[in-house]
């Protein structure tokens, strides 16, 4: 087999090597990406793509933002790793800058490496703090693929339904307050929710639902966990979603765009909870390592310097409006730059046709929904390019109605 560790290796050789050696857990696109800059990525043939998938919601500040690249490369030459057994200048900086982004009262962080680890950490902290076992989550929610996070992950397709998850769970429909209130009791440690459903089909609940969630938790002494792995760090138009509905959770989990592409996760912990946490309660060797912290500190600075939440709010509004006018689009859901484009036809052929035209978008569990999670640096011109590409693709592909009439 061709050694793929050299420039100029073709797409077929790269695909053959990954397929031969990587276990087959992912359904992959026939695409080998080699470079990124801003809202664009390039494949091994040199073809350029406008990236509205954002590397799966990760390229928050755009691909290879110069300040992020410089922070990581400079830290790599200074100290690549030392664990939490010692103090670190760059960890102190990351913690300080992230705490400044968090809602008032959530000024403590625990650093880890991924979204699922952040959620498991939050669940563990909630169970320890309340000394209760049960967790309430949403039927449509997604919180990660390791065992502890599969518990609150609703759709059974993500796990083997015959294998019990290790935490006791009650699940209710997203947005349904009476259903939630019915399962709340003094045995509930926490409610965990993605404030905007993403993988389960992009949707936002009424403001009153979030306020009801908070009240239902307070009534029985349960903690409220917002999984902001996708929604956090400005994507929905504010640093964290709760600000928009006047709700402060007890724990917020983050990952994905947090370090702009360097693997990192974080749990923001309410000060009252943090006060009761002692050495030995939890840990992670790589969590808060110097490279991840350099990346997190750079991203946190960019969120403020470039007003990324403001940009996401503004661009999201413009983009939703333009998309909602296209024939073939039935509605646009979501908030800021986490958008679901609901179509009158299956999304899959549209995703493929867009890719062939040099535009990357995602799908969700709703078969007629496109999912947009672009860098928050998306320009008005780039957004217009996408609207134009989608309108052409929709004009070329068949709507559900046309197909029904033809059959």
What φ, ψ does residue 359 adopt, rounded to 5°? Answer: -135, 130
Residues 268, 102 contacting (CB under 8 angstroms): yes
Q: Per CB under 6 A, which of residues 45..104 are in contact with ligand PLP?
A: none
* Site size for ligand PLP (CB under 6 A): 14
Q: Given the complex with ligand PLP, which of 199 and 245 has the nearer CB atom?
A: 199
Alpha helical stretches, state H, 246-344: 271-274, 290-305, 308-324
CA distances, 286 to each of 96, 97, 263 (Å): 19, 19, 10
Q: Given the complex with ligand PLP, which of 115 and 249 has the nearer CB atom?
A: 115
According to DSSP, the β-strands at 203-204 and 265-269 are unpaired
Q: Per CB under 6 A, which of residues 218..257 are in contact with ligand PLP?
A: 227, 229-230, 255
Smallest gap from Cβ 382 to ligand PLP, in A, equals: 23
User: Does the protein bind ligand PLP through residue 148 (CB under 6 A)?
Assistant: no
> How far apart, in whole angstroms, are the C-alpha atoms of residue 376 and residue 104?
24
Q: What is the H or E stretch that residue 196 is in?
A: strand 196-197
Question: E strands, 14-117, where?
Answer: 33-37, 40-43, 48-51, 108-112
Smallest gap from Cβ 116 to ligand PLP, in A, equals: 3
- The CB-nearest residue to ligand PLP is 115
Smallest gap from Cβ 25 to ligand PLP, in A, equals: 12
**One residue of 115, 201, 237, 316 binding ligand PLP per CB under 6 A:** 115
**One residue of 108, 129, 132, 143 binding ligand PLP per CB under 6 A:** 143
Which has the closest alpha carbon to 239: 215, 262, 268, 264? Answer: 268
* Helix pair 380-396, 308-324: axis angle to 10 deg: 30
Residues 186, 220 contacting (CB under 8 angstroms): yes
User: Does the protein bind ligand PLP through residue 114 (CB under 6 A)?
Assistant: yes
**One residue of 75, 88, 116, 377 binding ligand PLP per CB under 6 A:** 116
Q: Per CB under 6 A, which of residues 182..201 are in contact with ligand PLP?
A: 194, 198-199
Smallest gap from Cβ 403 to ligand PLP, in A, equals: 32
Smallest gap from Cβ 149 to ligand PLP, in A, equals: 7
Interface positions with ligand PLP (CB under 6 A): 114-116, 119, 142-144, 194, 198-199, 227, 229-230, 255
């Amino acid at each position: 087999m061709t050694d793929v560790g050299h420039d100029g290796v073709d797409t077929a050789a790269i695909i053959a090597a990954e397929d031969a050696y990587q276990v087959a857990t992912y359904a992959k696109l026939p695409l080998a990406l080699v470079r990124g800059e801003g809202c664009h990525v390039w494949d091994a043939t040199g073809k350029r793509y406008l990236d509205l998938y954002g590397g799966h919601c990760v390229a928050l500040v755009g691909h290879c933002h110069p300040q992020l690249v410089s922070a990581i490369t400079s830290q790599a030459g200074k100290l690549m790793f030392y664990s939490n057994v010692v103090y670190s200048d760059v960890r102190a900086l990351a913690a300080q800058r992230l705490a400044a982004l968090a809602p008032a009262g959530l000024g403590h962080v625990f650093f880890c490496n991924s979204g699922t680890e952040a959620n498991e950490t939050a669940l563990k902290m909630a169970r320890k703090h309340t000394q209760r076992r049960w967790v309430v989550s949403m039927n449509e929610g997604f919180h990660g693929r390791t065992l502890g996070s599969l518990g609150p992950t609703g759709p059974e397709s993500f796990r083997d339904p015959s294998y019990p998850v290790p935490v006791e769970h009650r699940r209710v429909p997203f947005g349904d307050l009476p259903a939630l209130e019915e399962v709340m009791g003094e045995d509930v440690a926490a409610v965990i929710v993605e404030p905007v459903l993403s993988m389960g089909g992009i949707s936002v609940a009424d403001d009153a639902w979030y306020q009801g969630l908070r009240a239902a938790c307070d009534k029985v002494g349960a903690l409220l966990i917002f999984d902001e792995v996708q929604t956090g760090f400005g994507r929905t138009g504010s640093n964290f979603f709760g600000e928009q509905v006047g709700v402060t959770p007890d724990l917020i989990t983050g990952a994905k765009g947090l370090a702009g592409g360097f693997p990192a996760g974080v749990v923001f912990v309410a000060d009252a909870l943090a006060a009761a946490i002692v050495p030995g309660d939890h840990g992670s060797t790589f969590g808060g390592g110097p490279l991840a912290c350099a990346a997190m500190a750079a991203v946190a600075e960019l969120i403020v310097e470039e007003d990324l939440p403001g940009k996401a709010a503004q661009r999201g509004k413009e983009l939703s409006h333009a998309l909602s006018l296209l024939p073939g689009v039935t509605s646009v859901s979501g908030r800021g730059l986490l958008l679901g484009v609901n179509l009158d036809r299956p999304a899959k052929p549209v995703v493929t046709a867009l890719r062939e035209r040099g535009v990357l978008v995602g799908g969700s569990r709703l078969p007629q929904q496109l999912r947009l999670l672009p860098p928050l640096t998306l320009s008005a011109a780039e957004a217009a390019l996408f609207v134009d590409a989608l309108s052409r693709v929709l004009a070329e592909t068949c709507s559900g109605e046309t197909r029904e009439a033809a059959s």
